[in-house]
Chains A and B, each alone.
Chain A
C-alpha cells in the first residue's frame, strides 16, 4: 500500500508540475459550469433544484478528459525508458498500475470537489434532494474510475500518447454510447446483454439516485478488468522494449 502511495504521489505531482492538472480542472469547470448555469437545458431553464444537468454534462466532459489524463501514464514511461527503471525497483507491476490509477482518480476527485459550490448554491436557492446529489457524484466517480482503468490499459499497449488517447476513446465509446444505441434498436437476449454492458444505463440509474448492487458490481468489474488487463500487458514486456 505504501509503495502504491509513493508512486501515486509522484504521478500526481507531475500532473501539477506539467500544468496538465490545471488545464483539466479549468476546462472541466468551464464546460460544466457553462452548460449547468448559462446555456442549454441549464438549471434555470429546468427550474428544479437539482444537479441533473451538471451530471449530464459531466458524463460527457469526463469521457473526453479522462483519456487525456491517462494517455501518458504508461506510454510516456515506456517511451522514455523509465518503465525499465521502475519495474527493476522493488515494486510489483500491480503496485505500479494501482499507483497510477490512484493518481488519476485523485485528480478527478479534486476536480469534482471543486464543483462543490454548485451544490451549495443550488441547495441555497431551492429544496434539493441531498441523497440524489450524493448518488450522482458517486456515479461520476465510478464512471471516472472505469474510464481511468480503460485509459491505463490503452496507455500500456503503446509508447505513443496519441495512440493511447484514441484507443481509450475507441474502447470507451462502446461503453459510453454504442452498446446503449444498439441495444435500443435490437431485441431479445442480445439487447439485454448490450443494455447491461452499456455504462450509460448504470450511470443514469445512479444519477437518478437509485443505488443497486448490480451497478456497483458492473463498475467494479470494468475497473478490475482494465487493471488486470494492464498487468497482463506489462508482464509481457520481454517481447517488446
Chain B
C-alpha cells in the first residue's frame, strides 16, 4: 500500500510546522524521515495517522484520503508514537488483546496474533506483567507489538529505537527490516547511522520543508562531488610543497592542516582526480609521500549542510 503526501501544510498559530511537503512512499519501501528537533517530522506523522487534520493538502494511503476516509485509513496503519504511550496499569497480554479487538482482528485469530507478536517482539517472559513494571526497552517492544498486531500494510514509527540499549537497537532494526520487505514503513529518527542501516530512502526535512529525498549513497555522492585527499609529504619545504600542489592543473584548493606541518588537504576540481598528479609531483621533486587518504564526507556533514545553511 503506498502513501502519498501531497502539498501538506500544517500551522500552529502563526508558525508553520509543515510547509507544503510532498513525497511518495511505495510498497515494500522503508523510508527514513530525518530532521533536527522541531523540523516537522512528528507533525507529518500525526497527520498521516489521522490524529490531526492538515490545514492544506492531503495524504492518501492506498488511494484513500485521511480527511475523507479516516476510519478506513486507520485500519491499515500501525503507529508507534514518539512518546510510546501505553496503559501502564494493564498487563501486556490484556493490552494486546484490547488493541487487537479495536483493530478489527477477527476473534478466532486474536490468540494467534498475540502469540505471534509476543514471540516476534521478544515479550515471552513479560506477557503477564503490568506494562508499568517493564523497563523502557520492553515497553518499547510492547509499543511495537501493538502497532503490528493487526498486520498493517503501513507502519509509521516515530523514533522507534529511542531508549533502547545497543543490543535491542540492533534487534529492533532487524525486525523493522524484516517487516519492511512487504510493508510500507516510514520511520523517523535523528540518528543518521540508524536511518542508513535500515532505510532504502532518506527524506530530510528542515523547518517544515523537504530539503532532500534520495538514497543514502546518492546523498553521499552528492557531497563527494569534489574529491578530497589528505596527503602528507616529507623531505621538502612546506611553502614550496604548498605552492606546487596549488599549481597542479586538477587542484582547486589546498588546505594546510593544523598541528601537522607536512599535511595538506587537497580538493580537486569537480569530477577530477588529482591523486596521480600528486604522486608524480613528489617523484619529480624527490619528496617522500608518506600518506594519501581520501577524505570521506560523513552523512552527518551532509545532514548539517542541508539543515543548517537552509
* Chain A contacts to B: CB under 8 angstroms: 3, 6-7, 10, 13-14, 17-18, 80-85, 87-92, 237-239
**Contact in complex: A90, B75 (CB < 8 Å):** yes
B193 CB within 8 Å of chain A: no
How far apart are the CA atoms of A83 and B77 in the complex, in Å?
Answer: 16
Alpha-carbon separation in the docked complex, A13 to B49 (Å) = 28
How many residues of chain B get a CB closer than 8 Å to chain A's CBs? 30
Within the complex, which residue of B52, B88, B90, B104 is in contact with A90, where a contact is CB–CB below 8 Å?
Answer: B104
Q: Please report the C-alpha to C-alpha distance between residue A121 and residue B90 in the assembled complex, in whole angstroms.
A: 40
The yes or no answer to B271 lying at the interface (CB within 8 A) is no
C-alpha gap A22/B77 in the complex (Å): 38
Q: How far is the CA of A238 from the CA of B11 in the complex (A)?
A: 10
Say whether, besides A3-B102, A6-B98, A238-B52, A88 and B87 are in contact (CB < 8 Å). no
* Chain B 21-61 near chain A by CB (<8 Å), digits 1 or 0: 00000000000000000000000001001111100000000
Kindly count the residue-residue contacts between A and B in the assembled complex, taking CB atoms under 8 Å apart. 63
Interface string of B93-133 (1 = CB under 8 A from A): 01000110111100000000000000000000000000000
Contact of A237 among B10, B52, B98 (CB under 8 A): B52
CB contacts (< 8 Å) of A14 on chain B: these are 87, 89-90
Which partner residue on chain B sits nearest A95 by CB separation?
Answer: B102
Pairwise interchain contact B86-A82, C-beta atoms closer than 8 A: yes
Chain B residues within an 8 Å CB radius of A92: 71
Q: In the complex, how many angstroms separate the beta carbon of B68 from the nearest chain A beta carbon?
A: 14
**Interface class of chain A by DSSP:** helix
| B88→A80 contact, CB < 8 A | yes
* Beyond A10-B98, A81-B83, A89-B99, 15 additional pairs, beta carbon < 8 A: A3-B102, A6-B102, A13-B94, A17-B90, A84-B85, A85-B85, A85-B86, A87-B50, A87-B51, A88-B50, A88-B77, A89-B74, A92-B71, A238-B53, A239-B12
Q: Is the CB of A80 within 8 A of B51?
A: no
| Cα separation A80 to B87 with both chains bound (whole Å) | 8
Within the complex, what minimum Cβ distance (angstroms) separates B169 from chain A? 22
| Interface CB pairs A-B, < 8 A, 7 | A3-B102, A80-B87, A82-B86, A84-B81, A88-B51, A237-B52, A239-B12
Instruction: Tell me, yes or no, whether B79 is within 8 Å of chain A by CB.
Output: yes
CB distance from B230 to the nearest CB of A (A): 48
Q: Which residues of A contact B51 (CB under 8 A)?
A: 84, 87-88, 237
When chains A and B are docked, how far (Å) is the Cα of A16 from the Cα of B178? 40
In angstroms, Cα B77 to Cα A88, docked, is 8
Residue of B whose beta carbon sits closest to that of A14:
B89
Nearest chain A CB to B214's CB is how many angstroms away?
A: 29
What is the minimal beta-carbon distance from B44 to any residue of chain A, in angstroms? 13
User: How far apart sit A9 and B85, CA to CA, in the bound complex (Å)?
Assistant: 20
